[in-house]
Amino acid sequence: MKRNWFVILVSLLTLLAVTLAGCGGGGGGASTEAGLPKLTKKDKYKVGFSQVESNNPWRLAQTASMQEEAAKRGYELVYTDAAGSEAKQIADVDSMIAQKVDLIFLAPRSEKPLAQAVLKAKAAGIPVILLDRNVDQTIAKPGQDYIGFIGSDFIEEGQRAAEWLVNATGGKATIIELQGTVGSSPAIDRKKGFDDFIKDKPDMKVVASETGDFARDKGRQVMETLLQAHPDVTAVYAHNDEMAIGAIAALEAAGKVPGKDVIIVSIDGSKDALQAIIDGKLGATVECNPRFGPKAFDTLEAYANGEQIPAKIINPDKFYDSSNAAAEIANAY
């Protein structure tokens, strides 16, 4: 609690400092009332990367990809880790503004609070590219408040998970859904994609749907609780691999056999998930590719060159099940 107040105070002071400094962005970024801040062409940039958290292999792979690509191009990367806190992530963006970075890559924890951070960066003359998660489009818009979004099609990921589960269960399942972080675009869209796909399949029943915050431990705890209320569960849809692996642990602790008594599908494509498929515990995982580095920095350079950037740049995602997990595991993160 105390820490949150401290973060809010630091955030307000930083914003005040930025405002008093005349809203000056870094690297020749010029704030324009209506349009996006510009990015002056340079050989080397100082860029910010605001990460959500570092508690899972997906996030670690994304950070490594961004750091490797910045190093390859000789750019300075100002990296922050919000440790799963929206208040800290807002303060992190404020700090990047104060450090006058040329551009901010932002992986926003949730849609609404971080949309305000996008507007602050714009007001300070610093362009923003959203990585992997989106912000609320009624508050901040691509091509106007931020350059654009690079990431997966989360709705499609949810649909692909649902399609696999319908086939694997013959269209009849009692499902527990483990949602991602509340208010985050992957949690919202993965739920929507899944629900849309099963809505005309009356025997595919979601009997419980709760957040496990994209974390393994939380996924296990939530699954333990939900199992007591729904011991008849036959399928689990987890919004990411970490929660699926947590759910596998909870099922085993309850004496159930994952992959037999309960069929599990998730999203990400991590090494642990592919191993769980090989072990017969996880049925399938839809890839959500975390390797953003090359595309993120190419997009920055294209923007500096004056090229038109699409509102959404969608990463193509693979799909892993028992047919390819063993062949693909060496490339997984």
Which positions touch ligand AHR (CB under 6 A)? 56, 58-59, 132-133, 186, 214, 240, 267-268, 288
Shortest Cβ distance from residue 258 to ligand AHR (Å)?
A: 19
31 vs 56 by CB, closer to ligand AHR: 56
Q: What is the C-alpha separation between 316 and 287, in angstroms, rounded? A: 9
Shortest Cβ distance from residue 148 to ligand AHR (Å)?
A: 16
84 vs 294 by CB, closer to ligand AHR: 84
Q: What is the C-alpha separation between 133 and 196, in angstroms, rounded? A: 21
63 vs 240 by CB, closer to ligand AHR: 240
Hey, which residues does 263 pair with through a beta bridge? 235
Alpha-helical (H) ranges within the chain are: 2-20, 57-73, 86-98, 111-123, 154-169, 185-198, 216-229, 241-253, 271-278, 293-304, 325-328
Q: 98: helix, coil or strand?
A: helix
Shortest Cβ distance from residue 248 to ligand AHR (Å)?
A: 16
Two structure tokens written together for 194:
């899944």
38 vs 133 by CB, closer to ligand AHR: 133
Shortest Cβ distance from residue 221 to ligand AHR (Å)?
A: 17
Shortest Cβ distance from residue 228 to ligand AHR (Å)?
A: 26
Shortest Cβ distance from residue 58 to ligand AHR (Å)?
A: 4
Torsional sign, CA 92, 93, 99, 105: positive
46 vs 133 by CB, closer to ligand AHR: 133
Neighbours of 36 (CB within 10 A): 22
Element (H, E) at 176: strand 173-179
94 vs 132 by CB, closer to ligand AHR: 132
18 vs 277 by CB, closer to ligand AHR: 277
Dihedral of the alpha carbons of 137, 143, 147, 151, in degrees to the nearest 10: 50
Q: What is the C-alpha separation between 125 and 330, in angstroms, rounded? A: 43
Q: What is the C-alpha separation between 27 and 4, in angstroms, rounded? A: 31
